[in-house]
Structure 1
Protein backbone atom coordinates (compact mmCIF):
# COMPACT_ATOMS: atom_id res chain seq x y z
CA UNK A 1 0.00 0.00 0.00
CA UNK A 2 2.83 2.38 0.91
CA UNK A 3 4.50 1.69 -2.45
CA UNK A 4 1.23 2.38 -4.24
CA UNK A 5 0.79 5.72 -2.44
CA UNK A 6 4.39 6.71 -3.17
CA UNK A 7 3.93 5.81 -6.84
CA UNK A 8 0.72 7.90 -7.04
CA UNK A 9 2.48 10.89 -5.48
CA UNK A 10 5.32 10.63 -7.98
CA UNK A 11 2.90 10.44 -10.92
CA UNK A 12 0.93 13.43 -9.64
CA UNK A 13 4.13 15.45 -9.17
CA UNK A 14 5.33 14.55 -12.67
CA UNK A 15 2.03 15.62 -14.26
CA UNK A 16 1.98 18.82 -12.22
CA UNK A 17 5.53 19.69 -13.29
CA UNK A 18 4.63 18.98 -16.87
CA UNK A 19 1.69 21.34 -16.70
CA UNK A 20 3.81 24.02 -15.07
CA UNK A 21 6.44 23.79 -17.78
CA UNK A 22 3.81 23.88 -20.47
CA UNK A 23 2.15 26.94 -18.98
CA UNK A 24 5.49 28.72 -18.65
CA UNK A 25 6.32 27.88 -22.25
CA UNK A 26 2.99 29.22 -23.43
CA UNK A 27 3.52 32.38 -21.40
CA UNK A 28 6.91 32.99 -23.06
CA UNK A 29 5.50 32.35 -26.50
CA UNK A 30 2.73 34.90 -25.99
CA UNK A 31 5.11 37.53 -24.69
CA UNK A 32 7.76 37.08 -27.39
CA UNK A 33 6.17 39.68 -29.68
CA UNK A 34 4.45 42.62 -28.08
CA UNK A 35 1.07 43.66 -29.38
CA UNK A 36 1.35 46.49 -31.89
CA UNK A 37 -0.45 49.59 -30.64
CA UNK A 38 -0.79 52.32 -33.26
CA UNK A 39 -0.52 55.98 -32.27
CA UNK A 40 -2.23 58.88 -34.03
CA UNK A 41 1.00 60.71 -34.72
CA UNK A 42 3.66 59.51 -37.14
CA UNK A 43 7.03 60.60 -35.75
CA UNK A 44 10.42 58.95 -35.37
CA UNK A 45 9.21 56.98 -32.36
CA UNK A 46 6.34 55.56 -34.38
CA UNK A 47 8.60 54.97 -37.37
CA UNK A 48 11.04 52.90 -35.34
CA UNK A 49 8.19 51.06 -33.65
CA UNK A 50 7.03 49.81 -37.05
CA UNK A 51 10.58 48.80 -38.00
CA UNK A 52 11.17 46.98 -34.71
CA UNK A 53 7.84 45.17 -35.01
CA UNK A 54 8.75 44.01 -38.52
CA UNK A 55 12.05 42.66 -37.20
CA UNK A 56 10.30 40.71 -34.45
CA UNK A 57 7.70 39.27 -36.83
CA UNK A 58 10.00 38.41 -39.73
CA UNK A 59 12.94 36.61 -38.12
CA UNK A 60 15.21 38.73 -40.37
CA UNK A 61 13.53 37.53 -43.57
CA UNK A 62 13.56 40.63 -45.76
CA UNK A 63 10.53 39.69 -47.84
CA UNK A 64 8.50 39.07 -44.70
CA UNK A 65 9.86 42.25 -43.12
CA UNK A 66 8.73 44.25 -46.15
CA UNK A 67 5.29 42.64 -46.00
CA UNK A 68 4.84 43.40 -42.30
CA UNK A 69 5.86 47.05 -42.73
CA UNK A 70 3.45 47.56 -45.64
CA UNK A 71 0.57 45.86 -43.80
CA UNK A 72 1.05 47.97 -40.68
CA UNK A 73 1.72 51.19 -42.56
CA UNK A 74 -1.43 50.78 -44.65
CA UNK A 75 -3.52 51.06 -41.47
CA UNK A 76 -2.43 54.67 -40.99
CA UNK A 77 -3.92 57.77 -42.60
CA UNK A 78 -2.48 58.81 -46.00
CA UNK A 79 -0.77 61.85 -44.48
CA UNK A 80 0.87 59.61 -41.88
CA UNK A 81 2.19 57.29 -44.58
CA UNK A 82 3.68 60.36 -46.27
CA UNK A 83 5.30 61.34 -42.97
CA UNK A 84 6.82 57.85 -42.74
CA UNK A 85 8.45 58.42 -46.13
CA UNK A 86 9.78 61.80 -45.00
CA UNK A 87 11.34 60.27 -41.89
CA UNK A 88 12.81 57.41 -43.92
CA UNK A 89 14.49 59.85 -46.28
CA UNK A 90 15.82 61.95 -43.42
CA UNK A 91 17.45 58.83 -41.99
CA UNK A 92 18.89 57.81 -45.36
CA UNK A 93 20.43 61.27 -45.80
CA UNK A 94 21.66 61.34 -42.20
CA UNK A 95 23.48 58.03 -42.78
CA UNK A 96 25.23 59.33 -45.90
CA UNK A 97 28.69 59.47 -44.37
CA UNK A 98 32.06 58.25 -45.61
CA UNK A 99 32.49 56.15 -42.48
CA UNK A 100 29.28 54.27 -43.31
CA UNK A 101 30.54 53.83 -46.85
CA UNK A 102 33.80 52.48 -45.44
CA UNK A 103 31.89 49.94 -43.35
CA UNK A 104 30.02 48.77 -46.42
CA UNK A 105 33.29 48.40 -48.34
CA UNK A 106 34.66 46.11 -45.63
CA UNK A 107 31.47 44.07 -45.21
CA UNK A 108 30.52 43.65 -48.88
CA UNK A 109 33.87 44.19 -50.58
CA UNK A 110 32.62 46.85 -52.95
CA UNK A 111 30.68 50.12 -53.09
CA UNK A 112 28.50 51.56 -55.86
CA UNK A 113 25.88 54.30 -55.86
CA UNK A 114 23.02 51.79 -55.72
CA UNK A 115 24.61 49.34 -53.29
CA UNK A 116 25.50 52.17 -50.91
CA UNK A 117 21.89 53.34 -50.93
CA UNK A 118 20.57 49.81 -50.35
CA UNK A 119 23.13 49.34 -47.56
CA UNK A 120 21.75 52.36 -45.72
CA UNK A 121 18.22 50.98 -46.19
CA UNK A 122 19.45 47.74 -44.64
CA UNK A 123 20.95 49.66 -41.75
CA UNK A 124 17.59 51.32 -41.05
CA UNK A 125 15.89 47.95 -41.34
CA UNK A 126 18.13 46.60 -38.56
CA UNK A 127 16.40 48.85 -36.04
CA UNK A 128 17.02 52.04 -34.13
CA UNK A 129 19.85 50.89 -31.88
CA UNK A 130 21.99 49.38 -34.62
CA UNK A 131 21.34 52.36 -36.88
CA UNK A 132 22.13 54.95 -34.20
CA UNK A 133 25.20 53.22 -32.77
CA UNK A 134 26.63 52.50 -36.21
CA UNK A 135 26.41 56.17 -37.15
CA UNK A 136 28.44 56.93 -34.04
CA UNK A 137 30.98 54.18 -34.72
CA UNK A 138 30.72 51.59 -37.54
CA UNK A 139 32.78 49.17 -35.44
CA UNK A 140 29.51 48.52 -33.59
CA UNK A 141 28.47 46.32 -36.52
CA UNK A 142 31.32 43.89 -35.89
CA UNK A 143 29.43 42.40 -32.95
CA UNK A 144 25.88 42.93 -34.18
CA UNK A 145 25.70 41.33 -37.63
CA UNK A 146 26.63 37.91 -38.93
CA UNK A 147 29.08 36.99 -41.62
CA UNK A 148 27.26 36.18 -44.83
CA UNK A 149 24.31 38.44 -44.02
CA UNK A 150 23.01 40.22 -47.11
CA UNK A 151 23.57 43.87 -46.23
CA UNK A 152 20.99 45.47 -48.50
CA UNK A 153 17.28 46.19 -48.24
CA UNK A 154 16.19 47.97 -51.43
CA UNK A 155 12.55 47.09 -50.80
CA UNK A 156 12.38 49.55 -47.91
CA UNK A 157 12.45 52.36 -50.47
CA UNK A 158 9.01 51.36 -51.74
CA UNK A 159 7.03 50.40 -48.64
CA UNK A 160 5.41 53.83 -48.23
CA UNK A 161 4.39 53.90 -51.91
CA UNK A 162 2.82 50.44 -51.71
CA UNK A 163 1.06 51.20 -48.43
CA UNK A 164 -0.24 54.47 -49.89
CA UNK A 165 -1.67 52.59 -52.88
CA UNK A 166 -3.45 50.17 -50.57
CA UNK A 167 -4.81 52.95 -48.37
CA UNK A 168 -6.01 55.24 -51.17
CA UNK A 169 -6.91 52.67 -53.81
CA UNK A 170 -4.77 54.53 -56.35
CA UNK A 171 -2.73 52.40 -58.73
CA UNK A 172 -0.64 55.04 -60.47
CA UNK A 173 1.72 57.42 -58.71
CA UNK A 174 1.14 61.15 -58.99
CA UNK A 175 2.32 64.31 -57.27
CA UNK A 176 0.31 63.41 -54.16
CA UNK A 177 2.28 60.21 -53.48
CA UNK A 178 4.85 60.04 -50.67
CA UNK A 179 7.94 60.04 -52.87
CA UNK A 180 6.92 63.08 -54.93
CA UNK A 181 5.98 65.04 -51.83
CA UNK A 182 9.27 64.13 -50.13
CA UNK A 183 11.34 65.24 -53.13
CA UNK A 184 9.32 68.46 -53.25
CA UNK A 185 10.40 69.09 -49.67
CA UNK A 186 14.05 68.70 -50.61
CA UNK A 187 14.47 65.16 -49.29
CA UNK A 188 16.21 63.66 -52.31
CA UNK A 189 18.70 60.87 -51.62
CA UNK A 190 19.53 60.34 -55.28
CA UNK A 191 20.61 62.93 -57.85
CA UNK A 192 19.74 65.89 -55.62
CA UNK A 193 21.25 64.44 -52.45
CA UNK A 194 23.41 66.62 -50.17
CA UNK A 195 27.18 66.00 -50.22
CA UNK A 196 28.40 62.93 -48.33
CA UNK A 197 29.50 63.89 -44.82
CA UNK A 198 32.86 63.22 -43.24
CA UNK A 199 36.27 62.52 -44.72
CA UNK A 200 36.86 60.27 -47.71
CA UNK A 201 39.13 57.28 -47.21
CA UNK A 202 41.58 55.12 -49.12
CA UNK A 203 41.07 51.38 -49.11
CA UNK A 204 44.44 50.66 -47.51
CA UNK A 205 43.41 52.81 -44.53
CA UNK A 206 40.36 50.71 -43.65
CA UNK A 207 42.09 47.90 -41.68
CA UNK A 208 43.51 50.42 -39.21
CA UNK A 209 40.43 52.64 -39.13
CA UNK A 210 38.02 49.76 -38.45
CA UNK A 211 40.13 46.86 -37.11
CA UNK A 212 37.21 44.88 -35.63
CA UNK A 213 35.17 45.01 -38.82
CA UNK A 214 38.23 44.19 -40.89
CA UNK A 215 39.13 41.20 -38.70
CA UNK A 216 35.62 39.79 -38.94
CA UNK A 217 34.96 40.24 -42.66
CA UNK A 218 38.41 39.75 -44.18
Structure 2
Protein backbone atom coordinates (compact mmCIF):
# COMPACT_ATOMS: atom_id res chain seq x y z
CA UNK A 1 0.00 0.00 0.00
CA UNK A 2 1.46 3.31 -1.08
CA UNK A 3 1.09 6.59 0.77
CA UNK A 4 -1.43 7.70 -1.87
CA UNK A 5 -3.48 4.54 -1.30
CA UNK A 6 -3.36 5.07 2.46
CA UNK A 7 -4.63 8.64 2.12
CA UNK A 8 -7.21 7.52 -0.43
CA UNK A 9 -8.76 5.14 2.09
CA UNK A 10 -8.72 7.74 4.87
CA UNK A 11 -10.32 10.37 2.66
CA UNK A 12 -12.93 8.01 1.20
CA UNK A 13 -13.92 7.04 4.74
CA UNK A 14 -14.57 10.73 5.41
CA UNK A 15 -16.91 10.91 2.45
CA UNK A 16 -18.67 7.78 3.65
CA UNK A 17 -19.69 9.20 7.03
CA UNK A 18 -18.71 12.02 9.41
CA UNK A 19 -19.27 9.66 12.37
CA UNK A 20 -15.92 8.27 13.62
CA UNK A 21 -17.40 4.86 14.46
CA UNK A 22 -18.96 4.44 11.04
CA UNK A 23 -15.78 5.61 9.35
CA UNK A 24 -13.81 3.05 11.32
CA UNK A 25 -16.24 0.26 10.38
CA UNK A 26 -16.02 1.30 6.72
CA UNK A 27 -12.22 1.29 6.86
CA UNK A 28 -12.12 -2.10 8.57
CA UNK A 29 -14.34 -3.59 5.86
CA UNK A 30 -11.93 -2.28 3.21
CA UNK A 31 -8.83 -3.56 5.04
CA UNK A 32 -10.12 -7.10 5.56
CA UNK A 33 -10.48 -7.41 1.79
CA UNK A 34 -6.73 -6.87 1.38
CA UNK A 35 -3.88 -9.34 1.82
CA UNK A 36 -2.32 -9.29 5.31
CA UNK A 37 0.81 -7.62 3.92
CA UNK A 38 -1.24 -4.62 2.79
CA UNK A 39 -2.91 -4.32 6.19
CA UNK A 40 0.60 -4.19 7.63
CA UNK A 41 1.45 -1.54 5.02
CA UNK A 42 -1.55 0.51 6.21
CA UNK A 43 -0.15 0.44 9.76
CA UNK A 44 3.32 1.43 8.55
CA UNK A 45 1.87 4.36 6.56
CA UNK A 46 -0.18 5.44 9.57
CA UNK A 47 2.91 5.31 11.80
CA UNK A 48 4.99 7.28 9.28
CA UNK A 49 2.24 9.87 8.98
CA UNK A 50 1.80 10.15 12.74
CA UNK A 51 5.51 10.85 13.20
CA UNK A 52 5.16 13.97 11.05
CA UNK A 53 2.59 15.30 13.52
CA UNK A 54 4.59 14.41 16.63
CA UNK A 55 5.72 17.92 17.56
CA UNK A 56 5.52 20.13 20.62
CA UNK A 57 4.19 22.86 18.32
CA UNK A 58 1.13 20.76 17.46
CA UNK A 59 0.82 19.38 20.99
CA UNK A 60 0.64 22.94 22.32
CA UNK A 61 -2.18 23.72 19.88
CA UNK A 62 -4.12 20.63 20.96
CA UNK A 63 -3.45 21.53 24.60
CA UNK A 64 -4.96 24.98 24.08
CA UNK A 65 -8.05 23.63 22.30
CA UNK A 66 -8.62 21.05 25.03
CA UNK A 67 -8.19 23.53 27.85
CA UNK A 68 -5.08 21.85 29.25
CA UNK A 69 -6.61 18.37 29.12
CA UNK A 70 -4.12 17.16 26.56
CA UNK A 71 -1.78 14.71 28.25
CA UNK A 72 0.60 12.53 26.28
CA UNK A 73 -2.23 10.01 25.82
CA UNK A 74 -4.68 12.68 24.69
CA UNK A 75 -2.16 13.98 22.16
CA UNK A 76 -1.64 10.37 21.01
CA UNK A 77 -5.41 10.22 20.30
CA UNK A 78 -5.41 13.69 18.72
CA UNK A 79 -2.86 12.68 16.08
CA UNK A 80 -5.11 10.06 14.40
CA UNK A 81 -7.96 12.58 14.51
CA UNK A 82 -5.76 14.96 12.54
CA UNK A 83 -4.91 12.18 10.07
CA UNK A 84 -8.65 11.65 9.72
CA UNK A 85 -9.06 15.24 8.53
CA UNK A 86 -7.39 14.28 5.26
CA UNK A 87 -4.05 14.72 3.58
CA UNK A 88 -4.27 18.41 2.67
CA UNK A 89 -5.44 19.48 6.13
CA UNK A 90 -2.86 17.24 7.79
CA UNK A 91 -0.03 18.79 5.77
CA UNK A 92 -1.18 22.36 6.40
CA UNK A 93 -1.74 21.92 10.12
CA UNK A 94 1.48 20.00 10.78
CA UNK A 95 3.37 22.83 9.05
CA UNK A 96 1.42 25.60 10.86
CA UNK A 97 -0.49 24.27 13.89
CA UNK A 98 -2.32 27.58 14.34
CA UNK A 99 -4.26 26.69 11.17
CA UNK A 100 -6.35 24.37 13.34
CA UNK A 101 -8.34 27.55 13.98
CA UNK A 102 -9.62 27.34 10.40
CA UNK A 103 -11.10 23.84 10.72
CA UNK A 104 -14.89 23.84 11.04
CA UNK A 105 -14.81 21.10 13.70
CA UNK A 106 -12.48 23.19 15.88
CA UNK A 107 -14.42 26.40 15.25
CA UNK A 108 -17.61 24.66 16.47
CA UNK A 109 -15.91 23.96 19.81
CA UNK A 110 -14.88 27.57 20.43
CA UNK A 111 -16.83 29.38 23.12
CA UNK A 112 -18.48 26.20 24.36
CA UNK A 113 -17.73 24.51 27.68
CA UNK A 114 -15.83 21.27 27.12
CA UNK A 115 -18.40 19.42 29.24
CA UNK A 116 -20.89 20.10 26.45
CA UNK A 117 -18.78 18.57 23.69
CA UNK A 118 -20.14 15.27 22.42
CA UNK A 119 -17.79 12.30 22.12
CA UNK A 120 -17.88 12.67 18.32
CA UNK A 121 -16.84 16.36 18.59
CA UNK A 122 -13.69 15.81 20.63
CA UNK A 123 -10.62 16.17 18.42
CA UNK A 124 -9.45 12.60 19.03
CA UNK A 125 -9.80 9.29 17.23
CA UNK A 126 -8.15 6.73 19.49
CA UNK A 127 -9.77 3.76 17.77
CA UNK A 128 -7.89 4.45 14.51
CA UNK A 129 -4.77 3.38 16.43
CA UNK A 130 -6.10 -0.20 16.61
CA UNK A 131 -7.74 -0.50 13.20
CA UNK A 132 -5.00 -2.39 11.36
CA UNK A 133 -4.49 -4.86 14.24
CA UNK A 134 -8.24 -5.53 14.42
CA UNK A 135 -8.50 -6.03 10.66
CA UNK A 136 -5.41 -8.25 10.60
CA UNK A 137 -6.74 -10.45 13.40
CA UNK A 138 -10.16 -10.63 11.78
CA UNK A 139 -8.62 -11.73 8.48
CA UNK A 140 -6.01 -14.17 9.85
CA UNK A 141 -7.40 -15.20 13.23
CA UNK A 142 -4.01 -14.37 14.76
CA UNK A 143 -4.31 -11.94 17.67
CA UNK A 144 -0.63 -10.96 17.53
CA UNK A 145 -0.29 -11.37 13.78
CA UNK A 146 0.14 -7.72 12.90
CA UNK A 147 2.78 -7.14 15.58
CA UNK A 148 4.67 -10.22 14.42
CA UNK A 149 4.45 -9.19 10.75
CA UNK A 150 5.70 -5.69 11.52
CA UNK A 151 8.59 -6.97 13.65
CA UNK A 152 9.56 -9.35 10.83
CA UNK A 153 9.87 -6.24 8.63
CA UNK A 154 11.95 -4.47 11.25
CA UNK A 155 9.13 -1.99 11.94
CA UNK A 156 8.11 -1.15 15.46
CA UNK A 157 4.89 0.79 15.86
CA UNK A 158 5.39 3.62 18.37
CA UNK A 159 3.12 3.59 21.40
CA UNK A 160 3.83 7.06 22.82
CA UNK A 161 4.52 10.53 21.56
CA UNK A 162 8.14 11.61 21.34
CA UNK A 163 8.37 15.11 19.85
CA UNK A 164 11.85 16.02 18.67
CA UNK A 165 11.26 19.76 18.28
CA UNK A 166 11.96 22.16 21.18
CA UNK A 167 9.44 22.02 24.02
CA UNK A 168 7.73 25.13 25.34
CA UNK A 169 5.46 26.07 28.22
CA UNK A 170 1.89 25.33 27.10
CA UNK A 171 0.61 27.24 30.15
CA UNK A 172 2.44 30.51 29.41
CA UNK A 173 -0.22 32.94 28.04
CA UNK A 174 2.36 35.14 26.27
CA UNK A 175 3.97 32.14 24.59
CA UNK A 176 0.57 30.77 23.56
CA UNK A 177 -0.47 34.12 22.07
CA UNK A 178 2.81 34.43 20.19
CA UNK A 179 2.80 30.90 18.79
CA UNK A 180 -0.95 30.42 18.29
CA UNK A 181 -2.62 33.80 17.68
CA UNK A 182 -5.64 32.42 15.77
CA UNK A 183 -6.34 29.66 18.25
CA UNK A 184 -5.82 32.11 21.13
CA UNK A 185 -8.52 34.31 19.62
CA UNK A 186 -10.91 31.33 19.38
CA UNK A 187 -10.13 30.03 22.88
CA UNK A 188 -9.24 33.24 24.79
CA UNK A 189 -10.10 32.05 28.31
CA UNK A 190 -7.88 29.01 27.85
CA UNK A 191 -5.07 31.13 26.42
CA UNK A 192 -5.11 33.34 29.54
CA UNK A 193 -4.49 30.32 31.75
When normalised by structure 1's length, the TM-score is 0.72
* Matched-pair contact (CA < 8 Å) for 1:118–1:152: yes
Where in structure 1 are there 5+ consecutive unaligned residues? Answer: 1-41
Q: What is the CA RMSD across the aligned residues, in angstroms?
A: 1.7
* Structure 1 residues 1-218: aligned runs within 5 Å: 42-58=1-17, 60-110=18-68, 111-146=70-105, 147-148=108-109, 149-168=121-140, 170=141, 172-174=142-144, 177-182=145-150, 185-190=154-159, 195-202=162-169, 203-204=171-172, 205-218=175-188
- Between the two structures, name the one with larger relative contact order (CA 8 Å, sep ≥ 6): 2
**Structure 1 residues 132 and 73: alpha-carbon distance in aligned structure 2, compared to 1, 3 A threshold:** same
Q: Are residues 200 and 79 of structure 1, via their aligned partners in 2, closer, same or farther at CA, if it must alter by over 3 Å? A: same
Residues 34-62 of structure 1, C-alpha deviation per residue, up to 9 Å, x if partnerless? Answer: xxxxxxxx11100000000100001x211
Does the 8 Å CA contact 1:90/1:187 hold for their aligned counterparts? no
Structure 1 residues 183 and 104: CA distance shift in structure 2, 3 A: farther
Q: Distance in 2 between matches of 1:144 and 1:217?
A: 14
CA displacement, residues 78-126 of structure 1 (integer Å, 9 cap, x when unaligned): 1000110111111122211011101111111122121010000111111
TM-score if structure 2 supplies the norm length? 0.81
Shift in Å, 1:65: 0.9
- Answer with 1 or 2: which has the greater Rg: 1
Whole-angstrom CA distance in 2 between matches of 1:153 and 1:201: 25
Task: Give the Cα–Cα distance (whole angstroms) in 2 for the partners of residues 107 and 183 of structure 1.
Answer: 36
Q: Is the 8 Å Cα contact of residues 10 and 84 (structure 2) preserved in structure 1?
A: yes
SS at match of 2:165: coil
Give, in angstroms, the shift of residue 213 of structure 1. 1.0
Unaligned runs of 5+ in 2: 110-120, 189-193
- Aligned residue in 1 for 2:118: none
Q: How many residues align?
A: 170
